A and B are shown apart, each in its own frame.
Chain A
Amino acid sequence: MSKKLPHDQIVKIKLGDSQLRQNLTVAMHTLQKNRLNVINAKFKNWQGLRDKAKKAKNNALMSLSDRLIEFEKNATANGIKVHWASSATDACEIIYELMRQNNIKKILKGKSMASEEIGLNHYLANKGLNAIETDLGELIIQLNDEAPVHIVVPAIHKNRNEIGKIFQEKLGADLENEPEKLNQIARKHLRDQFEGLEMGLSGVNFAMSKEGAFWLIENEGNGRMCTTAPQIHVALCGIEKVMESFEDAATMVHLLTPSATGQFIPTYNNIITAPRNEELDGPKEVHLILFDHHRSDMLAHHDYYEALRCIRCGACMNFCPVYDKIGGHSYQTIYPGPIGEVISPNIFGMEATGDILTFCSLCGRCSEVCPVRIPLADLIRKLRANKVGQGKNSPLSTQNGHKNRGEAFAMKQFANVATNGALWRFSLSKAHLFNKALHKFQNSIPVIKNWSKYKELPQIKKDLYKELENMEGVRYE
């Protein structure tokens, strides 16, 4: 990822990008509407399904070590080679080793946020190896050298005119803006890439420990190409994706696409149980990498374990009133939006990503739409507490993060005044006398200054307490 810009600077840049703003607002409102329509049209008891999913995921998390061992046993019996990775680098190294042993220079990838998380493309590029994206959205941003702006729709910030230009510049195609034409360009480009493919990489949506199998959903069919066409298929799987049974995973799939895009079911369901057996096609080897990357730290946490239920549907960002104003790149971590605010400090550390905790007005809409009932807004607030040195068990590198001493002092003062009725009354009962001064000095009092940059201040007229003392039927005591 490119170098991090200062928080205020990136916000200004993104807020000032009117094309981005417009693309995102339209897209997010469409996704919101689609979700609502499918829930109303197809589900009798959506809330009940959310409860069921929460329970199933919690069951899996509470018995995760058993699940993982069971998965390894059954997947191995099926002929899948299971690898374990503790850090992001461990996971990259396993893939690199597989490429080296088989003398492979290029892999094709289906969409995988996990591979973004471990920085795989960058790692392989440093070794002189190639990783090529095949998901349409991922391909667009890879050609344009950008990070995903969204976890489900990675190029949603680009409209079709902009995509046409990227294809023209990077692929030498004719300038087009019709979706079909654009699809044809991408298709032709990818068909060429698929030729002679030796290794394909994919993520995992759900792994099932009882069956020793895993489930991948997608809409374009490229993922299926990546997992069936090459000789070797490597799947990257965060340990929290392992559930007990096929039935549990099915509950999740029912929630996933309606929440994500408003589709009732995904276009492609790929359930992978084994490498090629007697068949004539399919990969000869299937490898699955179970990686941790601080997930077990989260699992041990009293509150943040809840975020491990996430099925990466993206609904929380689709409904976030901050996300559609600033876009995913403002977060400068690969997981943006509400879930990004919760897991980024846990995975990448508070020092590196704690600044994004202010990207939230705590409106609570994310918690309301999350299909697995992660209390995202509450968790964001708890992380803020960790950041200022309060709350329980802080995540990684919290001690190194920037502490705002001025704010801490102001909050102590606030608590002093707000527990002293006479002092409080004294300040407020005189407020109307200061009305003029407040308006006059609005640009020099820091908090007021930020307010009055965009908004008028209220007029303060009365001494409330005096009025109350004389009001009939009111006991002022």
Chain B
Amino acid sequence: MRKVYFFATCLGSAAMQDSVLNAIKLLRREGVEVIFKKNQTCCSQPSFNSGYFNESKTVAMHNINLFDEDIPIVVPSGSCAGMMGHDYLQLFEESPEFDKVQRFAARVYDLSQYLDEILQVNYEDKGEKIKVAWHSNCHALRVAKSVEASKNLIRKFANVELLELEHEEECCGFGGTFAVKESDISNAMALAKIDDIKKTGVSYLISGDGGCLLNISGTMKRNGVDIKCLHLYDFLIKRLEGAPL
């Protein structure tokens, strides 16, 4: 039987527990055994992106030591998967632990890549015909490069039409600590993104990243925009179960 570690991410554990549980369900329904290390914490992106490299290394090493068995580490966020699978290498460039970090990084998968590319899942659509738009997280797009896999998962549903945003590759203004350090600019970016989403006329927006979703849905709510934002893994489970979105 396949066996994987699951890394819930800090945002998943703190604010998006349902999405974490649904993500694990998606692995379970393929018969994968899931190991959840209870001492897991955060991938250290907040401190890394603010320039606190020493603190980030300490947190990264905590994870590297924790997930020590030679099995995949599956992450339900392209952003954190990018951090652990790629940016950790930069963080430890020229340090004596580099080889160890490299071996760890090679085992990190974004969940959608693991489902689409490794498990090659088949999904049967139990939902009504709908149109949805997709939002790409920048780190998933450019670092983890997991966006195609995420979209492939949505495309497996016969009744779902996936619409592209005109400026899909433009950042929504989340950027972790950026959203609170430059909150005025972040808001301007989120509003531009929301205009782009509104242009498609969809009622649902799907994204594979919790941070972007909190940013976009929080701004939509504040501005009275009636579009439902769903985490990719919540969406997949609901379509598979035929549950209302």
Contacts and interface: CB of A to CB of B under 8 A. Distances in A.
A385 B57 CA distance: 13
Contacts of B7: none
Contact of A467 (B21, B62, B176, B217): B21
Interface string A289-308: 00000000000000000000
Contacts, number: 208
B141 to A, nearest CB: 8
A471 interface: yes
B142 interface: yes
A455 B171 contact: no
Contacts of B171: 321, 361, 363, 365
B184 A391 contact: no
A387 interface: yes
Interface residues of A, number: 71
Interface in A299-348: 321-322, 325-326
Given A359-B182, A451-B179, A421 B52 contact: no
A388 interface: yes
B183 interface: yes
Interface string A357-391: 01111111101100000000010011111111011
A227 to B, nearest CB: 39
Interface in B136-153: 138-139, 142-143
Contacts of A431: 14-15
Interface residues of B, number: 74
A363 B176 CA distance: 10
Contacts of B203: none
Interface string A219-235: 00000000000000000
B80 to A, nearest CB: 13
A297 to B, nearest CB: 20
Contact of A454 (B174, B178, B186): B186
Contact of A451 (B36, B59, B183): B183
Interface string A435-477: 0000000000001001101111110111111011001111111
Interface stretch (B41-49, B157-165, B233-241): B41-49
Nearest to B181: A358
Contacts of B228: none
B142 A364 contact: yes
B34 interface: yes
Contact of A450 (B20, B36, B180, B192): B180
B170 to A, nearest CB: 5
A419 B41 contact: yes
Given A361-B138, A361-B189, A390-B52, A29 B24 contact: no
A460 B181 CA distance: 23
A450 B36 CA distance: 33
A378 B90 contact: yes
Contact of B54 (A29, A390, A407, A417): A390
B180 A387 contact: no
A42 interface: no
Given A361-B173, A365-B169, A471-B24, A455 B215 contact: yes
A451 B111 CA distance: 28
A85 B40 CA distance: 55
B16 A458 contact: yes
A458 B15 contact: yes
Interface string A412-447: 101101111110110010010000000000000001
Interface string A255-282: 0000000000000000000000000000
Interface of A: 11-12, 15, 21, 25, 29, 321-322, 325-326, 358-365, 367-368, 378, 381-388, 390-391, 407-408, 411-412, 414-415, 417-422, 424-425, 428, 431, 447, 450-451, 453-458, 460-465, 467-468, 471-477
13 contacts: A321-B171, A325-B189, A363-B142, A364-B138, A414-B47, A415-B55, A425-B38, A431-B14, A453-B187, A455-B214, A456-B222, A458-B16, A473-B34
4 cross-chain pairs, A with B, having the tightest CB-CB distances, nearest first: A421-B39, A361-B175, A384-B51, A455-B218
